[in-house]
């Protein structure tokens, strides 16, 4: 279109009207000769231009009149054309049916540059473009310049490059797909291997912990027997040393038990032994262990328990694992003079309790990892701990069909919420 648009500027619409009105008589005029020479210069401009011509409107919109082209017979000296001889070549006035050309039939080519669809003739693939010829006032033209360009070589070059490129792209996509498939397979096998390895590790830890539990418990019993004087009276220094050993042994028993429970949770083998559990007695037993620890740190320990708590079908060991871990953490991570609160309610067949502290809180960016095994927040790593307590607390509650969640704000404190179903029998008691 750029070539035809530029070419249209070489002609004046009034002159083309004159040639059209003269018909074949125009071929003997200098104006006709100048017009043809301009068309020839345009054709020489690009060796791929097959035809350059000028059409004029007629009264019938489907019929265009030929005016001139770059190959007219009239200017060939060897024929010495005088206007008397006739020839099969086009002459001014020759009519063309353009009803098959949308851009010409609709008249678009007389208002703005237009193109026709690509077509094929005996020489190759041809692409046609048109541009209106305007007069000096720029009004709508009655004539157009048409240019037919042979794009056969261009298409051959495109196909010569495009087809190998498409084949290359398809090959790359196939290879990428194959590599993705292989990576997924390898990754899947790797994940399964690591999962199996992790399971074996948990089983090994479970076995080792189980094997350690018995001798460690035996040591604890023997220390208690020695302190009770079953093997004879001890002097004060011996009692002091044995009491120290007893404290260390108790911590070791708790740690072995914790590791064993964590392994069971990880393996999905946490055993739940439901039995009648007097919740009032249960909470008081746990508080008897926790309150002295809070008193040692001069903390305000607030408890809000119903006056009468029912008996529920729950696993006492698992219940204690959750409650004692949460209360111990609250006391541990709350500074001296701080506050720890325990609130207990029973409603809609559920035991609810909250453990709230005014401690260091959990950094927001680490809250999603807080129940992870062995995870410890960055702001409490200077405090003794093993990172197993919250993992075990959550697992113990979930093993009984309950759940644990929390809210926390760094440097202001944390509140843990626990819900555990109490069972049908306990619910009936609650309704009385």
Tokens 């759940």 belong to which residue? 403
Q: Do domains 2-150 and 158-267 have the same CATH topology?
A: no
For the chain, which residues make up each domain, given as ranges? 2-150, 158-267, 275-431
The reported pLDDT for the residue numbered 85 is: 45
Question: 75: pLDDT confidence band, cut at 50, 70 and 90?
Answer: low
**Whether residue 82 has pLDDT greater than 90:** no
How is residue 7 written in tokens? 């070419």
For domain 158-267, the question of CATH label 3.30.420 is answered with: no
Q: What is the Cα–Cα distance from 186 to 164, expressed in whole angstroms?
A: 32
Matching residue, tokens 């069909």 = 401
Q: What is the pLDDT of residue 13?
A: 87
Give residue 213's pLDDT band: very low, low, confident or very high (50, 70, 90): low
Question: What CATH number labels 275-431?
Answer: 3.30.565.10
Lowest-confidence region among 209-218, 271-280, 363-372? 209-218
Tell me which of 123 and 402 has the higher pLDDT.
402
Q: What integer pLDDT is reported at residue 129 of this predicted model?
A: 87
Find out whether 282 and 248 touch, Cβ atoms under 8 Å: no
CB 353 within 8 A of CB 404: no
**pLDDT of residue 207 exceeding 70:** no
Higher-confidence residue: 306 or 382?
A: 306
Q: Is the pLDDT of residue 346 over 80?
A: yes
Write out the two tokens for 142: 């009655």
Backbone φ, ψ for residue 411 (5° rounding): 70, 5
3-state secondary structure the chain: CHHHHHHHCCCCHHHHHHHHHHHHHHHHCHHHHHHHHHHHHHHHHCCCEEEEEEEEECCCCCEEEEEEECCCHHHCCCCCCCCCCCCCCCCCCCEEECCCCHHHHCCHHHCCCEECCCEEECCEEEEEEEEEECCCCCCCCCEEEEEEEECHHHHHHHHHHHHHHHHHHHHHHHHHHHHHHHHHHHHHHHHHHHHHHHHHHHHHHHHHHHHHHHHHHHHHHHHHHHHCCCCCCCCHHHHHHHHHHHHHHHHHHHHHHHHHHHHHHHHCCCCCCCEEEEHHHHHHHHHHHHHHHHHHCCCEEEEECCCCCCEEEECHHHHHHHHHHHHHHHHHCCCCCCEEEEEEEEECCEEEEEEEECCCCCCHHHHHHCCCCCCCCHHHCCCCCCCCHHHHHHHHHHHCCCEEEEEEECCCEEEEEEEEECCHHHHHHHHC
Collect all residues with Cβ–Cβ distance below 8 Å to 46 and sequence separation of at least 6. Answer: 3, 149
Residue 345 above 90 pLDDT? yes
**Mean pLDDT over each residue of the chain, to the nearest integer:** 80
Residue with the larger pLDDT of the pair 161 and 373:
161
Tens digits of per-residue pLDDT, 127-146?
888 888 877 665 667 888 98
Identify whether the C-beta of residue 332 lies closer than 8 Å to the C-beta of residue 376: no
**pLDDT (tens digit per residue) in 154-205:** 777 777 888 888 888 999 999 999 999 888 888 888 777 777 766 666 665 5
Lowest mean pLDDT among 91-95, 233-237, 385-389: 385-389
**Mean predicted confidence (pLDDT) in 285-296:** 91
Q: Poorest-confidence range of 106-110, 209-213, 387-391?
A: 209-213
Predicted TM-score of the model (pTM): 0.48
Q: Closest Cα partner for 155 from 232, 58, 48?
A: 48
pLDDT digits (tens, 9 = 90+) for 88-124: 456 677 888 888 777 777 777 787 888 777 767 766 7
Select from 3.40.50.10540, 3.30.450.20, 3.30.2350.10, 3.10.20.30 the CATH code of 2-150: 3.30.450.20
For residue range 275-284, list pLDDT tens digits in order. 899 999 999 9
Residue 403 predicted with pLDDT over 90:
yes
**CA 263/CA 206 separation, integer angstroms:** 5
Q: Collect contacts of 166-172 with beta carbons under 8 A, ≥24 apart.
A: none
Q: What is the mean pLDDT of residues 354-374?
A: 88
């Amino acid at each position: 279109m750029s070539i035809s648009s530029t070419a249209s500027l070489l002609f004046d619409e009034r002159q083309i009207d004159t040639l059209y009105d003269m018909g074949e008589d125009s071929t003997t005029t200098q104006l006709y000769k100048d017009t043809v020479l301009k068309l020839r210069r345009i054709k020489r401009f690009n060796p791929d231009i097959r035809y350059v011509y000028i059409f004029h409107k007629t009264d019938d919109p489907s019929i265009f009149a030929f005016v001139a082209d770059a190959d007219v017979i009239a200017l060939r000296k060897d024929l010495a054309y005088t206007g008397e001889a006739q020839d099969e070549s086009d002459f001014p006035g020759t009519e063309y049916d353009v009803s098959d050309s949308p851009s010409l039939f609709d008249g678009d080519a007389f208002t703005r540059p237009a193109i026709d669809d690509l077509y094929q003739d005996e020489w190759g693939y041809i692409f046609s473009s048109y541009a209106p010829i305007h007069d000096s006032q720029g009004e709508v033209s009655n004539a157009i310049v048409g240019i037919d360009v042979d794009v056969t070589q261009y298409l051959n070059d495109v196909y010569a490059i495009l087809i190998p490129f498409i084949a290359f792209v398809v090959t790359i996509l196939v290879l990428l797909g194959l590599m993705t498939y292989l990576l997924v397979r390898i990754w899947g096998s790797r994940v399964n291997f690591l999962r199996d390895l992790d399971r074996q590790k948990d089983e090994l830890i479970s076995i080792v912990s189980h094997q350690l539990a018995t001798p460690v418990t035996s040591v604890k019993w023997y220390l208690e027997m020695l302190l009770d004087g079953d093997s004879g009276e001890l002097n004060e220094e011996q009692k002091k040393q044995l009491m120290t050993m007893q404290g260390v042994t108790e911590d070791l028993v708790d740690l072995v038990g914790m590791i064993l429970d964590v392994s069971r949770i990880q393996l999905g083998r946490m055993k739940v032994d439901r039995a009648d559990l007097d919740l009032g007695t249960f909470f008081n037993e746990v508080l008897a262990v926790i309150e002295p620890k809070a008193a040692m740190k001069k903390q305000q320990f607030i408890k809000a328990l119903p006056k009468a708590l029912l008996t529920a079908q729950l696993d006492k060991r698992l219940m204690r694992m959750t409650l004692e871990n949460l209360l111990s953490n609250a006391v541990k991570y709350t500074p001296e003079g701080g506050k720890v609160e325990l609130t207990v309610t029973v409603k809609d067949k559920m035991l609810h309790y909250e453990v709230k502290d005014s401690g260091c809180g959990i950094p927001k960016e680490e809250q999603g990892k807080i129940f992870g095994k062995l995870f410890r927040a960055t702001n409490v790593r200077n405090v003794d701990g093993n990172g197993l307590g919250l993992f075990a607390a959550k697992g113990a509650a979930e093993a009984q069909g309950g759940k644990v969640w929390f809210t926390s704000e760094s440097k202001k404190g944390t509140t843990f919420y626990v819900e555990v179903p109490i069972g049908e029998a306990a619910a009936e008691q609650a309704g009385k």
